[in-house]
């Protein structure tokens, strides 16, 4: 069994992983995590929380992040198709405020890891999708925040025309507002 790095993005902060998938007439099998492989790839493996989200077509969730404790996420789509996004929030990074997005689905079975210093989000492309993500930090509502999904300073090219948003995501702060907050100093390049 193997999991390999397919590509790296945003000053190597975002890593796209491609697991080996074994298929036959019964279905498929794949490993989504192995401590020894993650260690060899130089990726964190101290996952402490596992989340599972289901959403209908055109739902956009994000861009979310947590600084206390820092929360990296290894995301994958287990049902349907979604456009996964990560935005670099590391002050001093040459890719600060830049984004990376990729369609992930049950055909390509890719996984995307973004460390705690990145905001993450997704848009559902299929009629329904389920996204699972394991996190390197436990959720803390006092140490989490978000950046507005359509902040023009970031310019994510979301592949949905009429997004369905939560009130929280609709009214999230802009990148410039986050950058002015003292908490933003938790994320340095």
pLDDT tens profile 67-125: 999 999 999 999 999 999 999 999 999 999 999 999 999 999 999 999 999 999 999 99
Return the CATH number of 3-186, one of 2.60.120.10, 1.20.120.420, 2.60.120.330, 3.40.50.300: 2.60.120.10
Separation CA 181–CA 117 (nearest Å): 15
Q: Give pLDDT, residue 134.
A: 94
| Least confident among 36-40, 105-109, 131-135, 144-148 | 36-40
Separation CA 91–CA 127 (nearest Å): 37
**Length of the chain measured in residues:** 189
What the block records as the tokens of 87 is: 């935005």
Name the residue ranges covered by the structural domains of the chain. Answer: 3-186
Q: Give pLDDT, residue 61.
A: 97
What the block records as the tokens of 177 is: 């507002």
The residues annotated with a catalytic role in the active site are: 64, 133
What the block records as the tokens of 75 is: 């995301």
The tens digit of pLDDT for each residue in 3-43 reads 999 999 988 899 999 998 988 999 889 888 888 988 888 88
Q: Give pLDDT, residue 46.
A: 87
Q: Give pLDDT, residue 30.
A: 85
User: Would the pLDDT of 45 be above 80?
Assistant: no
């Amino acid at each position: 069994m193997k999991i390999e790095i397919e590509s790296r993005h945003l000053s190597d902060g975002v890593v796209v992983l491609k697991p080996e998938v074994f298929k036959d007439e019964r279905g498929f099998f794949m490993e989504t995590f192995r401590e020894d492989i993650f260690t060899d790839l130089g990726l964190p493996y101290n996952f402490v929380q596992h989340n599972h989200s289901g959403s209908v077509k055109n739902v956009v969730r994000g861009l979310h992040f947590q600084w206390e404790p820092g929360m990296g996420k290894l995301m994958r789509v287990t049902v349907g198709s979604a456009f996964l996004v990560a935005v670099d929030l590391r002050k001093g990074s040459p890719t600060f405020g830049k984004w990376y997005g990729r369609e992930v689905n049950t055909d390509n079975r890719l996984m995307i890891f973004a460390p705690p210093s990145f905001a993450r989000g997704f848009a559902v492309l299929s009629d329904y999708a389920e996204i699972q993500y394991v996190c390197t930090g436990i959720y803390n509502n006092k140490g989490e925040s978000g950046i507005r999904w359509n902040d023009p300073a970031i310019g994510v090219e979301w592949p949905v025309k009429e997004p369905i948003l939560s009130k929280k995501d609709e009214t999230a702060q802009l990148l410039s507002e986050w950058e002015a907050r003292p908490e933003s100093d938790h994320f340095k390049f």
